[in-house]
Each structure stands twice: as C-alpha cells, then as structure tokens.
Amino acid sequence: MKQIAVVGVGYVGLVTAACFADLGNKVIALDIDEGKIARLKRGEIPIYEPGLEELVRRNVHAGRLAFTTSYKEALTGTEFAFIAVGTPEGVDGEADLRYVEAAAKSIAKTMQEPLIVINKSTVPVGTGDWVANIVREHQPQPVPFSVVSCPEFLREGSAIADFMNPHRVVLGSTDKDAAEKVAQLHLPLRAPIIVTDLRTAEMIKYASNAFLATKISFINEIANICEALGADVEEVAVGMGYDPRIGPLFLKAGLGYGGSCFPKDVKALAHMAEEKGRHPQLLHAVMDINADRRTMAAARVQEMLGGDLEGKVVGLLGLAFKANTDDMRESPATDIARALQEAGAAVRAYDPVAMDNARALLPDVTMCADPYALAEGSDALIVVTDWNEFKQLDLERVRGLMRQPVVFDGRNIYDPAAMCRLGFHYRGVGRGYNGECVQEAADQDA
C-alpha cells in the first residue's frame, strides 16, 4: 500500500483519489475550497459522475480515503503527490496555470521528505519543467523531489471505467526511477505503460484530444454535405467505421463537442503553436466547424417554423454537453438558447441532472419538471443531449402536447421514418430532409 496525496477534488482529482484508494492505497484528497471538503466529509459528492458516490463512500468507510484542506496533513508520510487542479481557458486561449502554480508552491513550502510530484492536470507542453523550477525555488530547504507527467484520459460520464480500464498509461519524466515508481502504481490496471520525457507526455495528451475533436468536426462537415446531397450520415459513418484505419468512434454527427477538455485543449494547442510561429490551420478549422453547429441548430428550427421565431416557444431536450454528466461547460445548449432568444423565441428546457448548473448560465430559460411539461405548448423541440431517458419518451403523447409538432434532433436519437409516421415535422443532422414529413404533419393538424 502506497500513500498518495491528490491536490484538487474536481472531476479528475476526485475520481483519481477514489480509484487509487479502491486499488488499496491510502489516499488523502486536498482542496483549498473549505466548503467542498466539508461536503465531501459529510458524504456529499459535489459533481455528478455515475458510480462515484458509492466508490467514495466505500473507500472512506474502509479508511483508505480522507479529505483535508491542509497541505501538511496531506503530505506527511506521502510518497506521491498528484496535482489535479483546474486549468481553465485564458484570455487568448492559453491554459490558465494559476492553480497549478499555487499547488506547486504550497507543495514546495510544506514537503519535509522526498516526494514525486505528478502533473495530472492538462497542462501546456513545458509545464513539467516549470513546476520543477517552482518547487525548487520555493522550498525553505532542499528536499529531494522529481516531477512526472501523467496526463488523464477520463471521459465525463464514464470516468471510473476509464481510470480502471485505460487504453494506456502515459508517463513522462527526466527521472527514470521516479517514472518507474509511478508506473508501479498503475500496474494493477494491466494497461500498456508508455514512458517518455516530460514534454512528449504532455504533447500526447493535447494531440490525442485534438485528433478526437477533429474526427467530430470532420463527421459534422460530412453531415452538412450529406444534407445537401441527400445521403444519410449515420450510414456513411457506419461504412467508414469498419475500416480499421478510421474506426467507428467519434464519428457521431450532431451538435459538436463541448465540456471541459476538447474546447479548451484545442484552443490551447493552437495558441502554443502560434506562439512558436506555426500556423495551426487544421485546428482553427476544427474550432470553426464546431462553433457553426450551434448556430446551425437555431437556424434549422427557425426554418422549420417558417422563418420567424418571434413569439414562438422552443424547448431544449437536454442541457449538459453530453449524457451522464451535469457539466455545462461549453455546452451547445447555452449558445443555442441565446441564439433562439435573440431571434425572439421563448426558451424552456429540461435535463435530468444539469438544470441546477444551467440556471446561472441561462437565467431567462424556463426549467421544466419533465420532458412532457417541456413539450406542452411548445412550437418546437430540439434534442440537445442524448440522454437515454429521451430515447424512451412516449412520442405520441409528446406530439399531442405540442402546439406545433416540430422536432429538430441534434443528436439523431430518433428514427426519421417513425417520427414521420407519428406526424412530426422532423429533421435530424445529416440525414437529408424528407418533405413528406411536413405535409403529413400539416394534414394531421388540419
């Protein structure tokens, strides 16, 4: 059993702490937010992540996981200190490292025995060297330490499974012995372990996220072309995905990527490239295509409602940027709601878990108790988040509650033919436009 400190109890930090504890280690999770730590000590989980509450409770009960605001308590007897604080987007797209800097300084001032400092946060290339300099400069007296980069590859909504069953573990350090010790921590996961230098490890994280974001923007560009040519992007993606050089994952046309990682990381990588005099035109195209998805959704609904949204009521099915999370960061729902409101529409919304977080961002959006309350009196619905709950709705009931049976399916969760048979004026993403749906809906309304 190893003793581990994890600095930061956000998505990455809390999942990392709980999972390492579940592997049999003694873990102390630290955060300077006293309110957040107090909630965790009471057994309250500050984020929504399936399975996390039970995992935390089990390991706290077993005495393997504890929470503190004290660096002294967290670092006493500790061999490994993971920095897992936030790195939000800065003014020009660069990563804001103020929390990483503060954590490194606090570690330096507190540590009394040899320590391996592990960067878990997503940080710009070169941050490992920078953190090492900070620790060295702020130690009251020299204490041996090493810095290792161990980038996270956790998806919100499946973070525990991703931690416990990783495709690979990436480690970077100038100290091979330190990297080997961190590798030993990850051996129970039985995953390939890549050991490289600090900067290469940091770059692997950015390059991975940028590539996945590129796949999403690529299939959305193909969806636009499919709409114009009458092809079905869903079947195109299936046909592409069987090619092992391409693969089926991240070829899901829709409203683009969001959340805390892809938007921030693509911007940060482009910023790093530009600072070095490079021209990251592909990255800029990826971001431009993604931004267009949000305006596209509002424009499609306006078109489906005859070109005028003034006085119309539009409901958003989903608010979180993806299913199985309450995260509203860079969610398409925010931009779509604002575009609809600017065009004169009244916007209402429903999400199983994200409405509390959404209220602060969208104060003029009416939050509804359930999907049927959302549908009642609406002129149109937009599927924003592909929650399983929405796939199982009584669509005949939904149609009967709506003022106009208009549905724009931004996640392609419904079968177009079935929606047409039910009398909806329906449109998906990249699936062509079936004009008979409009006529059938109009006939049933007459």
β-partners of residue 313 are 346
pLDDT at 433: 59
Residue 216 confidence (pLDDT) above 80: yes
Residue 57 above 60 pLDDT?
yes
Could you give the residue range(s) of every CATH 3.40.50.720 domain in the chain?
Answer: 3-196, 198-446
222-272 pLDDT, tens digit per residue, is 999 999 999 999 999 999 999 999 999 999 999 999 998 999 999 999 999
Least confident of 133-137, 307-311, 415-419, 437-441: 437-441
* Residues 324-366: tens digit of each pLDDT: 999 999 999 999 999 999 999 999 999 999 999 999 999 999 9
- Least confident stretch, 67-71, 352-356, 390-394, 441-445: 441-445
pTM of this structure: 0.92
**Average pLDDT of the residues in 34-44:** 96
Q: What is the pLDDT of residue 100?
A: 97
Strand-strand pairing, 3-7 and 65-68? unpaired
- Rounded CA separation 382/411 (Å): 9
Over range 198-208, report the average pLDDT. Answer: 97
Statement: residue 413 has pLDDT above 60: yes
**What gap in Å lies between CA 186 and CA 165, rounded to an integer?**
11
170, 198 in Cβ contact below 8 A? no
198-446 is classed in which CATH architecture? 3-Layer(aba) Sandwich (3.40)
* Domain 3-196 architecture: 3-Layer(aba) Sandwich (3.40)
For residue 446, the model assigns a pLDDT of 44
* Mean pLDDT within 45-54: 94
* Confidence (pLDDT) at 438: 55
pLDDT at 93: 82
Q: Which residues are catalytic?
A: 261
Percentage above 90 pLDDT, the chain: 94
- The answer for 122, left when phi > 0, alpha when psi is -120 to 50, beta otherwise, is beta
pLDDT of residue 89: 86
Strand order in the sheet with 169-172: 65-68, 26-30, 3-7, 80-83, 115-119, 145-149, 169-172, 193-196
Q: What is the dihedral of CA 285, 288, 292, 293, to 10 degrees?
A: 70
pLDDT recorded at residue 159 = 95
The CA-based dihedral angle spanning residues 10, 13, 17, 20, taken in that order and rounded to the nearest 10 degrees = 140
The pLDDT value recorded for residue 211 is: 98
In the predicted structure, residue 443 carries a pLDDT above the cut 70:
no
Average pLDDT estimate for 103-123: 97
pLDDT in tens, 184-195: 999 999 999 999
Tokens of 235: 């079947």
Alpha-carbon distance values, 5 to 79, 188, 244, 360 (Å): 8, 19, 40, 33
Does residue 441 carry a pLDDT above 80? no
pLDDT of residue 442: 45
Q: State the chain's mean pLDDT as an integer.
A: 95
pLDDT, tens digit (0-9, with 9 covering 90-100), for 137-168: 999 999 999 999 999 999 999 999 999 999 99
Q: What is the pLDDT of residue 90?
A: 83
The whole-number pLDDT of residue 436 equals 43
Residue 437 — pLDDT band, cuts 50, 70, 90? low
Rounded mean pLDDT, 100-111: 98
